[in-house]
Amino acid sequence: MSVLVYTENWDGKFKKLSFELVSYATGVAKMIGASVTAVSIGRVEETELKKLGNYGAAKIITVNNDGLNVLDNQAYASVISEAALKEHATIIIISNNNSGKAIAPRLSVRLKAGVGSGVSRLPISLNPFTVYKRTYSGNAFAHLVIKSDVKILTLAQNSFDLAETPGNTCTIENLSVAVDGSVIKTSVRDVQKQTGKILLTDADVVVSGGRGMKSPDNWGPLTELASLLGAATACSRPVSDEGWRPHEEHTGQTGKIIAPNLYIAVGISGATQHLAGISSSKYIVAINTDKDAPIFEAAQYGIVGDAMKILPKLVEAVKDLKK
Amino acid sequence: MKILVCISNVPDTTTKIRFAEGNASVDVTGIQWVINPWDELSLTRALELKDDAASGVKSVTVVHVGPAAAEPTIRKALAIGADDAIRVNADSSDAYFVAAQIAEVVRKEQFDLIMCGIESSDYNGSLVGGMISEFLGIPSVSAVSGIKIENGQPVMSREIDGGKEVVTVPVPAVAIVQKGIAKEPRIAAMRGIMMARTKPVKLVEPIAVEPLTQVTVFEKPAPRAACKYIDAENPSQLIDLLQNEAKVI
């Protein structure tokens, strides 16, 4: 019996998210007395694969096939389900990121496995198998019972602490699968990648601006503060709708749902829809001229005042800190 | 090309969620029901495609799995511009159940492109679209933020970590759409509202499917600690607190 975890790679490398997944899988495996098998698709060096062992993976199944260089949801679900059956996996852990959301539901139908999406804690009970999950965009949490024999859990990013398993050893095994042109239905015409930028969903610290920034020309000190803190930049919906900032930066119910350690909301009033995207942040800082803005109810630290005056002072204070 | 847009009926996003039956369900008293925001954008984009004769889109149908109480939301979709609607007459027990019902509708009525929002704002599952595609054994593309039709094939822009890819898949296919798919939801005009009254809503009885999951109890999120205010004249104190008290920078 095993807990199977799908660990995606990015150009042959894993990232914090991958290790969170393995840490979580190890936690679940301990609860049910099983071992952890990680599945990796694509070319990843052995030294990189071994890193998954540091977080408790006992076995790593690696699937190398050039046909799988494109994310084809159907083919990926088929490969992972093959590994799950081979390993007699009763629980499958996948990230709740873009590719996880693409694969998990297909895998669910293949294996007739119920899904707990966007979990952030270990299961709250094994019998009945119950997970704690975010619903109503963070306005409520549900106890979800998964009734099927095989269960799939998708883990919210930045929600589970890394836990190393000292002394753990792991084996690596190749799984060959038949993937040819008739299987892969997705063809890629064009790829645009941003490089050298911290991804909003990966960031530990996020500095975000709202309508209170008043103009797209005022973003200088905000991006400077973000860069000094090693933070990603984000924005509220009106800002992206106005085209002041790109859509990819919109955090909120219909934009990105994030859970950084620190979210600094500058000139954001904190409408329910915005809070839906950020309420899982560990710390929220609010900077707003309106002392009655709802963002202060969600925040642990607040400054009532003009962002244009406060941001440059924060930039100076962080610079002083670094001296 | 025939497009099917899947719509979910959800509480207005500003609703204060309260529970009933010993926290086993959501108290629906006074709730304003709306089309799930992503589905509304998805419908808008489908209608934009139909408006463009070059796309070859002949019809836009909406499908909903839910009881008769959801009729106003279906009529709203028709008022916005959908040609017709299908309602599967059953409670939407879980994503697996709903997806199985919609897959059955597609099998019977033959659609080329099935569009689903990336998640519903109530259960936040992000499951139904992908499940429909697997039930039917057809391609799916997720995190789609742009779609056009070229020579009868959907050309989609999908978000990947740190970028975008433009991909195509053969039809029939499922497009799971998110932010960016349409700029703003289309609003129903008076003429549309009048016309919606006479547009057909086909009633379909559900097929037998056992749901795989069930919510047993709801909880409110844990309340946050009160906000600690820092003097606007001395914001450097904030940096000190973030470093030494919260330990997050």
Mean pLDDT within A238-259: 93
Report whether pLDDT(A43) > 90: yes
Contact A187 B169 (CB under 8 A): yes
Nearest to A143 among B122, B184, B217 (CB): B217
A253 and A269 in contact (C-beta within 8 Å)? no
Contact A140 B221 (CB under 8 A): yes
Contact A74 B140 (CB under 8 A): yes
Q: Which residues from chain B sit within 8 angstroms of residue A18, using beta carbons?
A: none
Q: How far apart are CA A230 and CA B4, in angstroms?
A: 44
Q: How far apart are CA B223 and CA A138, in angstroms?
A: 12
**CATH 1.10.10.10 fits domain A2-174:** no
Q: How far is B235 from chain A (nearest CA, A)?
A: 6
**Residue B157: per-residue pLDDT:** 97
A168-180: pLDDT as tens digits? 999 999 999 888 7
Q: A2-174 and A205-322 share one CATH topology?
A: yes
**Residue A196: per-residue pLDDT:** 76
Residue in B170, B166, B149 with CA at minimum distance from that of residue B157: B166
Interface A–B counts its CB contacts (< 8 A) at 281
**Residue B223: per-residue pLDDT:** 85
Q: Which of residues 114-153 of B touch A (CB under 8 A)?
A: 118, 121-131, 133-135, 137, 139-143, 145
Tell me the DSSP string of A167-233.
T---EEEE------TTT---EEEEEEE--SS--TTT-SEEEEE-GGG-SGGG-HHHHHHHHHHTPEE
Q: What is the CATH number of domain A205-322?
A: 3.40.50.1220
Contact A71 B160 (CB under 8 A): yes
- Classify residue B92 as exposed, middle or buried by CB count within 10 Å of its CB (0-12, 13-18, 19+): buried
Report whether pLDDT(A8) > 80: yes
For residue A85, give both structure tokens: 């059956």
Please indicate if any CB of chain A lies within 8 Å of the CB of B171: no
Average pLDDT, chain A: 95
Nearest to A102 among B14, B41, B143 (CB): B143
Q: Which residues from chain B sit within 8 angstroms of residue A135, using beta carbons?
A: 122-124, 215, 218
Q: Which CATH number goes with the domain that contains B167?
A: 3.40.50.620
Q: Which residues from chain B sit within 8 angstroms of residue A191, using beta carbons?
A: 160, 163-166
Structural domain tally of chain B?
1
Identify the residue with better confidence: A183 or A227.
Answer: A227
* Full domain range(s) for residue B34: 2-222
A111-149: pLDDT as tens digits? 999 999 999 999 999 999 999 999 999 999 999 999 999
Q: How far is A129 from chain B (nearest CA, A)?
A: 10
Question: Is residue B121 situated within a structural domain?
Answer: yes
A79-93: pLDDT as tens digits? 999 999 999 999 999
**Residue A46: per-residue pLDDT:** 96
Report whether pLDDT(A1) > 90: no
**Residue B42: per-residue pLDDT:** 98
Report whether pLDDT(A73) > 90: yes
H or E element: which one contains B238?
helix B236-244
Phi-psi region of B54 (alpha: psi -120 to 50; beta: other; left: phi over 0): alpha
Q: How far apart are CA B148 and CA B1, in angstroms?
A: 12
Alpha-carbon dihedral sign for residues A106, A109, A113, A115: positive
**Residue A149: per-residue pLDDT:** 98
Question: Is residue B239 situated within a structural domain?
Answer: no
Q: Which residues from chain B sit within 8 angstroms of residue A232, using beta carbons?
A: none
Question: Is residue B91 situated within a structural domain?
Answer: yes
Contact B249 A205 (CB under 8 A): yes
For residue B84, give both structure tokens: 């017709």
Question: Is residue B164 situated within a structural domain?
Answer: yes
Q: Which residue of A has its CA nearest to B36?
A: A254
A60 and A31 in contact (C-beta within 8 Å)? no
Contact A320 B17 (CB under 8 A): no
Domain ranges of chain A: 2-174, 205-322
Contact B219 A142 (CB under 8 A): yes
In this predicted complex, what is the ipTM? 0.96
Q: Which residues from chain B sit within 8 angstroms of residue A276, using beta carbons?
A: 13, 121
A245 and A263 in contact (C-beta within 8 Å)? no
B177 and B115 in contact (C-beta within 8 Å)? yes
Mean pLDDT by 10 residues, chain B (249 residues): 98 92 93 97 98 97 97 98 98 97 97 98 96 98 97 96 93 96 94 96 98 97 91 95 95
